[in-house]
Amino acid sequence: MRRVAIIGAGSIVFCKTLMLDIMATPELEDTEFVLMAPSTGKTSQVKAFADKVIEKNGLKSRVLVTTDRREALAGASYVITSFQVGGVSAFELDYKIPMKYGVDQCIGDTLGPGGVFRALRSIPVILDVARDMEELCPNATLLNYVNPMAMICWALGETNIQYVGLCHGVQTTLDLIAGYTGVPKEEIDYVSAGINHMGWFTKLSHKGEDLYPALRDKFEQPAFYVNEKVRGEVFRHFGYFMTESTGHLSEYVPWFRKNQKALDLYCDEPSFGGESGAYYTWCAYVAEKYKDQDILADESYDLPPRSVEYCAYIIEALETGKTFKFSGNLRNNGMIANLPADCCAEGAVFADRTGIHRTVIGEIPPQCAALNMTNINVQRLAVLAAKSGDPETVVQAIALDPLTSSVLTLKEIRDMVTEMLTAQRQWLPQFEGRLPRPTPTIETPEGLQRAEVPIDPALAVFSRFGELAK
Q: Mean pLDDT in each 10-residue stretch from start to end of the chain (470 residues)?
A: 92 91 94 94 91 94 96 97 95 98 96 98 98 97 97 97 94 93 95 97 96 95 90 95 91 95 84 80 85 76 92 96 96 97 97 96 98 98 98 98 97 97 97 90 83 75 62
Q: Strand, helix or coil at 190?
A: strand
Cβ partners under 8 Å of residue 426, min gap 6 = 86
Torsion-angle region of residue 34: left (phi > 0), alpha (psi -120 to 50) or beta? beta
Residue (of 182, 173, 133) closest to 156 by Cα position: 133
Residue (of 404, 331, 353, 301) closest to 163 by Cα position: 331
Cβ partners under 8 Å of residue 355, min gap 6 = 141, 162, 318
Q: How many residues does the chain have?
A: 470
Cβ partners under 8 Å of residue 59, min gap 6 = 23, 29, 30, 53
Q: Strand, helix or coil at 449?
A: coil
237 is in an annotated binding site: no
Residue 246: predicted pLDDT = 85
Alpha carbon distance 216, 181 (integer Å): 10
User: Is-contact 282 92, C-beta < 8 A?
Assistant: no
Q: Which among 180, 240, 252, 313 is annotated as catalytic?
A: 252
Residue 287: predicted pLDDT = 84
Residue 320: predicted pLDDT = 95
**Is 237 a residue of the active site?**
no
User: Is-contact 198 235, C-beta < 8 A?
Assistant: no
Alpha carbon distance 328, 235 (integer Å): 23
User: Is-contact 99 162, C-beta < 8 A?
Assistant: no
Alpha carbon distance 77, 315 (integer Å): 10
Q: Strand, helix or coil at 363?
A: coil
User: Is-contact 151 344, C-beta < 8 A?
Assistant: yes
Residue 280: predicted pLDDT = 92
160 is in an annotated binding site: no
Kind and range of the H or E run holding 459: helix 457-469
Contacts of residues 312-315 at CB distance under 8 Å and 24 or more positions apart, as own/partner, are 312/18, 312/21, 312/22, 312/24, 312/25, 312/28, 313/351, 314/141, 314/143, 314/164, 314/166, 314/351, 314/356, 315/2, 315/4, 315/22, 315/25, 315/28, 315/78, 315/143
Alpha carbon distance 433, 425 (integer Å): 9
pTM, entire model: 0.93
User: Is-contact 147 197, C-beta < 8 A?
Assistant: no
**Is 252 a residue of the active site?**
yes
Residue 335: predicted pLDDT = 97
Alpha carbon distance 279, 110 (integer Å): 12
Residue 465: predicted pLDDT = 61
> C-alpha distances in angstroms, 229 versus 264, 358, 384?
11, 33, 34
Alpha carbon distance 64, 49 (integer Å): 12
Q: How many CB atoms lie within 10 A of CB 77?
A: 18
End-to-end alpha carbon distance in the chain: 87
Residue 424: predicted pLDDT = 98
329 is in an annotated binding site: no
Q: Pseudo-torsion of CA 181, 185, 189, 193, nearest 10°? A: 90
Q: Which residues pair with 200 in a beta bridge?
A: 193, 242
Q: Which is it for the CA torsion 361, 363, 367, 369, positive or negative?
A: positive
Task: For residue 457, say if its preceding peptide bond is cis, omega within 30 degrees of 0.
Answer: no
Q: Which among 168, 206, 225, 301 is annotated as catalytic?
A: 168
Residue 257: predicted pLDDT = 95
Residue (of 401, 260, 429, 259) closest to 417 by Cα position: 401
Kind and range of the H or E run holding 67: none
